[in-house]
């Protein structure tokens, strides 16, 4: 099977390539090799490689950047996605679109949210992801839309890195800086390796939209405390962790997702607390 995965140098894509490189023929172009905003370039690259599956991870994901540059966000996150979908349709390829839990960022009611729950994104990033989802469904029937939670993991040789809950906590501790975390932020946080290992199962389940990742009912503050404890630093918890009393003080951020649909299809994840323990144990990382 031939797989093309966009955003090839990114946190998820680079780990996907590393894990499956000896099993599938994978092309993971970076921006220089594939500019998703250039429709001619997209058509040329897809026609030359002729993948069976396109996994589209490339995106502008910074919430602040998207809010400050909405035109660029739309061009990359929406237009680029549409170009890939049309190119996939031309060669009868299947497509996996990586969307986000942040489509629920503006919902007033509490989560967890199912796939059928009306999404009300209040950020440009969330809005572009939701718009891309809707346009894709009009273009391509052979499509999986995966709404990822926040992925975490530790540095890995020859793989991209991004800000995440576990590595951010460790960096702060190593720099002797207390970690600030809100008690009013609730979201799933998922070990990236579990997602990667589940991708083969996802290729076999019915097309559709799926919430993908860990379920979690603990606040970001509580999860950060769990990380510090798992690092063997429980006695230093008061000095290493402080509450962020400003962030989400007026309104709690709740973007927890319900992953029952994926679980029924056999795609199962550890909850966030268990996943943190698993990640640190696999890397044998303690301070």
Q: Give the model confidence (pLDDT) of 269-286 as tens digits.
A: 999 999 999 999 998 877
Position 284 scores a pLDDT of: 83
Q: Give the model confidence (pLDDT) of 36-84 as tens digits.
A: 999 999 999 999 999 999 999 999 999 999 999 999 999 999 999 999 9
The residue assigned the tokens 């809005």 is: 127
Residue/partner pairs of 197-202 with CB below 8 Å, 24 or more apart: 197/19, 198/267, 198/268, 198/269, 199/16, 199/20, 199/55, 199/96, 201/265, 201/266, 201/267, 202/96, 202/144, 202/146, 202/267
- The percentage of the chain sitting over the pLDDT mark of 70, rounded to a whole number, equals 100
Q: Phi-psi bin for 7: left (phi > 0), alpha (psi -120 to 50), beta?
A: left
Contact assessment for residue 4 and residue 46, using Cβ atoms and an 8 Å cutoff: yes
Structure tokens at 57: 């991870």
Q: Give the model confidence (pLDDT) of 94-153 as tens digits.
A: 999 999 999 999 999 999 999 999 999 999 999 999 999 999 999 999 999 999 999 999
Domains (range + CATH), the chain: 2-283 (3.40.50.720)
Position 273 scores a pLDDT of: 98
Q: Which helix (H) or strand (E) holds 179?
A: strand 179-181
Question: Beta partners for 143?
Answer: 95
The CA distance from 116 to 206, in Å, is 16
State the average pLDDT over residues 13-22: 98
The CA distance from 189 to 206, in Å, is 25
Q: Give the model confidence (pLDDT) of 205-230 as tens digits.
A: 999 999 999 999 999 999 999 999 99
Q: Which helix (H) or strand (E) holds 227?
A: helix 220-230
């Amino acid at each position: 099977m031939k797989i093309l995965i966009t955003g090839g140098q990114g946190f998820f894509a680079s780990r996907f390539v590393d894990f499956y490189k000896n099993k599938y023929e994978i092309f993971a172009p970076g921006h220089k090799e594939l500019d998703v905003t250039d429709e001619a370039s997209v058509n040329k690259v897809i026609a030359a490689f002729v993948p069976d599956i396109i996994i589209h991870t490339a995106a502008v994901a910074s919430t602040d950047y998207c809010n400050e540059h909405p035109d660029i966000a739309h061009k990359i996150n929406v237009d680029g996605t549409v170009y890939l979908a049309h190119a996939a349709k031309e060669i009868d390829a299947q497509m996996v679109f990586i969307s986000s839990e942040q489509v629920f960022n503006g919902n007033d009611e509490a989560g967890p949210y199912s796939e059928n729950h009306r999404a009300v994104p209040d950020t440009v990033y969330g809005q572009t992801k939701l718009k891309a989802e809707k346009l894709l469904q009009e273009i391509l029937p052979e499509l999986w839309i995966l709404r990822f939670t926040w992925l975490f993991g530790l540095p890995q040789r020859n793989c991209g890195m991004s800000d995440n809950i576990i590595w951010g906590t460790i960096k702060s501790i190593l720099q002797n800086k207390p970690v600030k975390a809100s008690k009013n932020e609730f979201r799933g946080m998922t070990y990236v390796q579990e997602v990667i290992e589940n991708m083969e199962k996802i290729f076999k389940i019915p097309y559709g939209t799926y919430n993908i990742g860990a379920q979690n009912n603990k606040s970001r503050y509580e999860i950060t405390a769990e990380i510090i404890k798992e690092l063997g630093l429980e006695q230093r918890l008061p000095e290493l962790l402080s509450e962020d009393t400003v962030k989400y003080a007026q309104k709690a951020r709740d973007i927890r997702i319900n992953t029952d649909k994926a679980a029924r299809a056999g795609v199962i994840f550890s909850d966030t607390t268990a996943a943190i323990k698993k990640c640190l144990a696999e890397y044998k990382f303690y301070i």
